[in-house]
Structure 1
Amino acid sequence: MKKKVKGSHVIFSFVFLILGFIVSFAYQLAEEKKEKPEITDSQFKKDLALRNELIKQEETNNKLQHELKNVQYQLLDFEKEMSSETKTFSDLAEDAENYRMYLGKVPVKGEGVVITLEDGDYNPKDENVNHYLVHEHHVFQVVNELYISGAAAVSINGQRLTHRSYILCNGPVIEIDGYQHPAPFVISAIGDSEVLVGAINIHGGVKDILVNENIKFTVEKKEEIAMEPSIGN
């Protein structure tokens, strides 16, 4: 037998349903308020001050970065200037060393050539001994040709020549800056050996001239020639 649902029961069920919905909605609003608490005026001012301070620090950092970049550019320019000055000083030091070398004030070594001048063989048909002896002008001719061909340093019988050196004939010997040397005369020159030998052996050059004057003439390349400073330095 079916029971009849009374009208009051339906009303109560509807009321309870509405109340449950209201309670659930109120609970949800309460939870949202807990998750997002309201900011007080003091907290807002504090956050605003921190934000302003952060902005100020960022502006300061940007300014410092700009200054740092300018300093880096200045440092780069200074390094370039110092590099240029260093190269200038290096070039000056190299020039000074070259001048000392040309003046014969420092020992030097390098590739070059060695030329030997010897008296010619005695000819009984020629009574004039000067026709087969090495004279100072023969030595001069060789030395001048070597300097013209780029020799950086020259010595005769081990004695280094300088820009003030002189060579005199004194009987059977030659005198170089007051020091006497007998034949044979060994003339050493530091420089490009290929160029020096080419200049000496050129057709009609100094070698041909001296050979035609009965002088024994030999030339050889050397991988390394060492010379001490000139006497008195």
Structure 2
Amino acid sequence: MKRHRVSVFLGSVVIGLGLSVMVSLVAGKMNLYKVEMDQGDKVELRNNLRSEIERLKEENFNYERKLDGYRENVEDYENIYEELKLEYNRNSRLLGYEIVQGEGIILTMRDGEAKESEIPGSMESWLRIIHNEDMLKLLNELNLHGAETIEINGERVTETSEIFCSGAFISINGEKLPAPFVLKVIGDRALLDPYTANEYNQISNLKHRGIEINLEKRPIMTLDGSIEEIYPLYLDELNE
């Protein structure tokens, strides 16, 4: 009976963590990156969301089936424990708790140089400076084109991350980060590479405004975990 309780409890923990991953991918992430998009982006985003919702429905069904299996096969305690541990570690990496590794790109961004004739506070001055809405739209596009996880100056960007301008800094996860802003993006290079080569994207738009952007392609890189584990204080289970 004790093993049964432990296996079901661990299963519930992993299932709950898995569901939080779903929320981050469908609800939280899209709320974080809600910025102005053109019609083509909106159509692509809608189609991607529909596909993602269908995939997550199937994943949710698999989680429920796993939990049922844990309840029925309590004698196979060791294998259940190892499977739960692997699932927990996977979800922790997706949520930014743990270190991750993979192929991707690095974008290094700096404000443009001021011209001698520039008037402080002018439109010319505004255009050459990186603002939070610029970063948000860039993150939005990267996520639409193969990014699986993103780090900015050592801070992992997740569904709970905020991005604000604070003078010469950008605030992320409560940390004020100075320029240059180094974005490490792990994801599908088959999608990321064509995106970065496109002349009609946020990267090109920022370059035309005088903002300096350097692109590196990496076959492998590592992103540290920088997010503290979230323990809900106000969410209650629904008792049906």
Q: Which has the larger radius of gyration?
A: 1
Match of 1:119 in 2: 111
Which of 170, 185, 209 is the aligned partner of 1:174?
170
Which of 131, 135, 147 is the aligned partner of 1:135?
131
Identity %: 29
Structure 2 counterparts to residues 36-185 of structure 1, below 5 A? 96-127=88-119, 128=122, 129-185=125-181
Distance 1:95 1:125, change over 3 A: farther
Residue 125 of structure 1 deviates from its aligned partner by 2.6
2:111 alignment partner AA = D
Residue 230 of structure 1 deviates from its aligned partner by 2.0
Taking the aligned partners of 2:186 and 2:83, their CA distance within structure 1 comes to 22
Q: Is contact 1:197-1:219 (8 Å) kept?
A: no
Aligned residues: 150
Distance 1:125 1:227, change over 3 A: same
Q: Secondary structure at the match of 1:152?
A: strand
TM-score normalised per structure 1: 0.57
Q: Is contact 2:97-2:228 (8 Å) kept?
A: no
Residue 197 of structure 1 deviates from its aligned partner by 2.4
Residue 148 of structure 1 deviates from its aligned partner by 1.5
Residue 92 of structure 1 deviates from its aligned partner by 7.7
Q: Secondary structure at the match of 1:203?
A: coil
Taking the aligned partners of 1:95 and 1:196, their CA distance within structure 2 comes to 27
Q: Which runs of 5+ in 1 are unaligned?
A: 1-81
Residue 96 of structure 1 deviates from its aligned partner by 4.9
Taking the aligned partners of 1:101 and 1:141, their CA distance within structure 2 comes to 24
Q: Is contact 1:201-1:207 (8 Å) kept?
A: no
Match of 1:204 in 2: 200
Deviates more, 1:108-117 or 1:98-107: 98-107
Taking the aligned partners of 1:100 and 1:147, their CA distance within structure 2 comes to 19
Deviation readout 1:169-227 (Å, 9 max, x if unpaired): 00111100210011110000111234212212212111111112221112110121111
Match of 2:15 in 1: none
Distance 1:158 1:90, change over 3 A: same
Q: Which runs of 5+ in 2 are unaligned?
A: 1-72, 230-240
Match of 2:48 in 1: none
Residue 93 of structure 1 deviates from its aligned partner by 6.9
TM-score normalised per structure 2: 0.55
Taking the aligned partners of 2:201 and 2:83, their CA distance within structure 1 comes to 36
Taking the aligned partners of 1:198 and 1:91, their CA distance within structure 2 comes to 37
Taking the aligned partners of 1:130 and 1:173, their CA distance within structure 2 comes to 15
Residue 102 of structure 1 deviates from its aligned partner by 2.3
Q: Secondary structure at the match of 1:104?
A: coil
Which of 185, 188, 192 is the aligned partner of 2:184?
188
Deviation readout 1:90-136 (Å, 9 max, x if unpaired): 99876654432221122101111000111112122331332211111
Q: Is contact 1:117-1:184 (8 Å) kept?
A: yes
Distance 1:213 1:98, change over 3 A: farther
Which of 217, 223, 226 is the aligned partner of 2:222?
226
